[in-house]
Structure 1
Amino acid sequence: MARNPLVSFFTLAFALSWIAWTPYILGKTGLGVEPDFDFPKILGTTQLLGVLPGAYLGPILAAFIVTAAAHGRPGLRRWAGRLLKWNVNWRWYAGSILGVPAALVVTSFVLNGGDIHLPSAMVFVALVPGLVLQLVTTGLAEEPGWRDFALPHLQPKFGPLRGTLILGPLWGLWHVPLFFSEWGHWPEVTVWTIVEFIATTTLFSILMTWVFNRSGESLPIAMLVHTSVNNTMSIAWTELFPSTTVDDIALTFLVSSGVAAAVVVIATRGRLGYRSPEVPASAPALPGR
């Protein structure tokens, strides 16, 4: 692990999650090969019991194991320090919590020809607890691995843009088995569905890298950007855009990620806010600088 921490991390993250997801994918919630495997719904979804345990066993656990083995206690302190770095400028929180959903809504508004509806009051009430739930589930399970471990190892070796173009597809590939389950709306899945998703995670990773770098490597901000997408689309989307389909949602995420990625790459000339290790780090920058 000390010689090849990145290979060790990705191997562990994929293996641990995929093994844990096997009953969910083979059971009633997936391919139906093993109908005795069933998962009860909690909060209206089977994913909390079927998907979340495998997610927790993947990126975050793999990052902890490899960091401990390769870098010891100093490495664990740095890893945990980024995970607990909440003290950043308020504009990062505003951009993550409000700006990301706004960008998605504007994109969908354009793609749907202006067909948008005002959500009910209950949707607005549900957004805050929904975001908290997303943070402690999806955000906490994934981002300590992808952005807190893999990205700081990839950027010094490959540079910010190339490193992100390695991480983004791998992030998407990690999800692939889930497309053969309720998570991925199986059996309404095609090859294009998976290709589109991996393209989206790659483009979205460019924005995530910029956010992580420019916020002073604040993982909570990266987690908020990630989970704000999930939260908005899972809670508000069907009321905002009643005629939308799963394919429409995927296209919205792809287009908005592509636009954001293009803007970030052009504005930063491919540096994505990255500072080389030998350059002293300053205080977290404000968004847009």
Structure 2
Amino acid sequence: MNDDARAGKGSGLATFFAVTFTTTWGCWLVVIVLGEPPTTFPAVIPFLLGGFGPVFGAMAVRIRRRRLGEPVPVHTVRFRLNVRLLWALPLLVPAVATVAGGAVLAQALGGPVLSLDAGRALIATAGGAVPFFVGMLVGGPLAEEPGWRGTAYPRLLASMGRFGAALVLGVAWAFWHLPLFFMTGTVQAGFGLVSWSGLLFTLSVFPMAMLTGCAYELGGVPAAVAVHFGVNATAAVLNAFSPMTQAVVLVVQLLVAVAAIALRRNASVTVVDGPGVRLRHG
């Protein structure tokens, strides 16, 4: 049996995806049936629980591993304090820049004029800057990245490389968001599933999967959280949701992501996905 086959065997990916999708889609279906905005009670409870589906998937993988007596996989970065974790804050800058730069370029190309008015109103609605940004951090990056990047990415990387891992996670991530298009009061429902904005939002997860994957390799889950948070928060504050702006931001992020992966093509990442399986990817 070759290394790739051994790496995929018993990796826990099936468990991760099954628990992640069952938890998220089950909770979000409740919100859809309630027909209320996810910020209102009681819809907010299943909405928040559903957002943590990837974390529940990651927990299920770890419980399964302990039950089977498997060793802890060697991922890119351990949870203990590590110098690589210092990448988290610096990576906020390029994450913000991809959205802000794309929005500025879209305006220069004839798109919507940039304005902070919608962003200020959104922050005010949330009760101020602190609750707004805390909500943005917890409701997306912290609820997702321990699963998508901290659990699924290194296991996929062991068998298919960076582009392959990003592609598979991009597809899974796009489908995972699908219920949001049918949920009253979400940004995705405002776009509409069959629309340019809905299509561009769906496509945007692919460069995001690449960017957060590279961030994970540099600084682990905290770095992936930082990139995810930087992109989401900047898009919300700048109201960068017109089709023109979405399209330009997507292209900018795709170019940056491809460049980032190309620059890391010779960088080695050690991944262990089962007893005695140790692979190095460059």
TM-score normalized with structure 2 length: 0.75
- Name 1:138's counterpart in structure 2: 140
Distance 2:71 2:46 in 1: 32
Contact 1:214 1:274 in 2 (8 A): no
Identity %: 22
Distance 1:163 1:129 in 2: 34
Out of 68, 75, 92, the position equivalent to 2:63 is 68
Distance 1:266 1:47 in 2: 43
User: Deviation per CA, 1:41-70, whole angstroms, max 9, x where unpaired?
Assistant: 38xxx98445211122x1111111122213
Contact 2:145 2:225 in 1 (8 A): yes
- Name 2:114's counterpart in structure 1: 116
Distance 1:159 1:71 in 2: 27
Distance 1:249 1:50 in 2: 32
Relative contact order (alpha carbons < 8 A, sep ≥ 6): 1 or 2 greater?
A: 2
Distance 1:178 1:197 in 2: 12
2:28 is paired with a residue whose SS is helix
CA separation of 1:121 and 1:200: change in aligned 2, threshold 3 A: closer
Contact 1:171 1:201 in 2 (8 A): yes
Distance 1:173 1:224 in 2: 23
Shift of 1:146: 0.3
Shift of 1:126: 5.2
CA separation of 1:90 and 1:149: change in aligned 2, threshold 3 A: closer
| Structure 2 unmatched ranges of 5 or more | 1-8, 272-277
CA separation of 1:157 and 1:175: change in aligned 2, threshold 3 A: same
Out of 178, 190, 194, the position equivalent to 1:190 is 194
Q: How does 1:211-222 map to 2 (within 5 A)?
A: 211-215=215-219, 218-222=220-224
Contact 2:88 2:222 in 1 (8 A): no
Distance 1:121 1:194 in 2: 24
1:23 aligns with 2:30: yes
TM-score normalized with structure 1 length: 0.73
Distance 1:146 1:188 in 2: 25
Contact 2:57 2:147 in 1 (8 A): yes
Distance 1:99 1:127 in 2: 21
- Name 1:10's counterpart in structure 2: 17
- Name 1:275's counterpart in structure 2: 269
Q: How many residues align?
A: 257
Q: Which amino acid aligns with 2:202?
A: I
Q: How does 1:136-285 map to 2 (within 5 A)?
A: 136-181=138-183, 182-183=185-186, 184-186=188-190, 188-190=192-194, 192-215=196-219, 218-234=220-236, 236-238=237-239, 245-269=241-265, 273-277=267-271
Out of 40, 50, 57, the position equivalent to 1:54 is 50
Contact 2:158 2:279 in 1 (8 A): no
Alpha-carbon RMSD: 3.6
Distance 1:83 1:136 in 2: 18
Contact 2:106 2:245 in 1 (8 A): no
Contact 1:68 1:75 in 2 (8 A): no
Distance 2:71 2:280 in 1: 19
Distance 1:8 1:130 in 2: 33
1:185 is paired with a residue whose SS is helix
Contact 1:25 1:180 in 2 (8 A): yes
CA separation of 1:82 and 1:91: change in aligned 2, threshold 3 A: closer
